[in-house]
Amino acid sequence: MLINKRQENEREDYALSFKQRIEENSRNRKTDIVLALDFPYQNPESRAALLKKAQEVLEAVHPYVCAVKINHHLTLPLGVFDGVQTLVNSAHDKGLLAIMDCKVNDIGNTNQIIAEYYYQAGFDALIANPFVGWEEGLKPIFDVAGKLKRGLILLAYMSHKGAAEGYGQTIIDAKTGKPLAQYVSFARKALAWNADGVVVGATYPEKIGEIHEILKESVPIYSPGIGAQGGAAETALKAGARYLIIGREITLAQNPAETAKNLRASIKHGE
């Protein structure tokens, strides 16, 4: 696989796992916030303006966050090896880690290729969906992530209202034959597969609590859904979340830097 110059230069850092690198970054920068660099739909012809806006927000907000999370909001209009790679490089230059929220969800062969492209573009971690299972599902991307010393974060309970229809359903545990909540099964898989984190919506603090009981400090919980979706930072952290994923509350604010600074100040980091 091709490794670009930047990745070669950074390889020494990769002696640490993604889980350790983000923990260290969060401690050094005294922030638990992961910036979701999301913007409203724009005509693809305006992509130069979109890239400029994303760069401006990243520049303004970077002192107050430990990582940036990018998803289809930017990969579709800007291209992974084009505008998005510029943003990933820029995030690295500012000392931030870059997470791709692509919710990998296909057969293993396709998952592996998706992961190779995103890691090649410089992403430090990807988000994947454990619904596809291990064999010929997520195993191939855990293998790639292990080889390249990158991270994999799994969904456990999403932040939107319909989450209960999938993540909240009761399943029959294949091993015991007993009923089990789907998200409990995913939390156990995250432990067994040695994932770098799980995503649990801040909109469901009771689920954060239950999942934290299973994962303890072994697998950190990333919690989106603060502000725009109705979740509260303090409640999520108290329930056991380790990182808060925050998008529109910051990116659409009149003053993103001031908003991020105030959010960081209002969150009791490390407590």
- Which is catalytic among the residues 103, 149, 238, 261? 103
Between 201 and 220, CB nearer to ligand XMP? 201
- Residue by residue, DSSP assigns 76-87 as HHHIIIIIIHHH
Question: Hey, which bits of 88-203 come out as E strands?
Answer: 97-104, 125-128, 151-157, 170-172, 179-181, 197-200
Token representation of residue 138: 């997520």
Interface positions with ligand XMP (CB under 6 A): 36, 38, 71, 101, 103, 127, 155, 158-159, 199, 201, 224-229, 245-249
Residue nearest to ligand XMP (CB): 247
- Residue by residue, DSSP assigns 5-71 as HHHHHHGGGGGS-HHHHHHHHHHHHT--EEEE-------GGGHHHHHHHHHHHHHHHGGG-SEEEE-
Q: How many CB atoms lie within 10 A of CB 10?
A: 15
User: Smallest distance, Å, CB 129 to ligand XMP?
Assistant: 9
User: Smallest distance, Å, CB 17 to ligand XMP?
Assistant: 19
User: Smallest distance, Å, CB 5 to ligand XMP?
Assistant: 29
Closest CA to 93 of 68, 111, 69: 68
User: Which residues, listed in sequence order, are joined to residue 231 by a DSSP beta bridge?
Assistant: 226
Between 10 and 249, CB nearer to ligand XMP? 249
Between 108 and 197, CB nearer to ligand XMP? 197
Pairing of strands 221-224, 243-246: parallel
User: Smallest distance, Å, CB 260 to ligand XMP?
Assistant: 12
Question: Catalytic annotation on 216?
Answer: no
Closest CA to 153 of 76, 25, 242, 57: 242
Between 180 and 253, CB nearer to ligand XMP? 253
- Catalytic site positions: 103
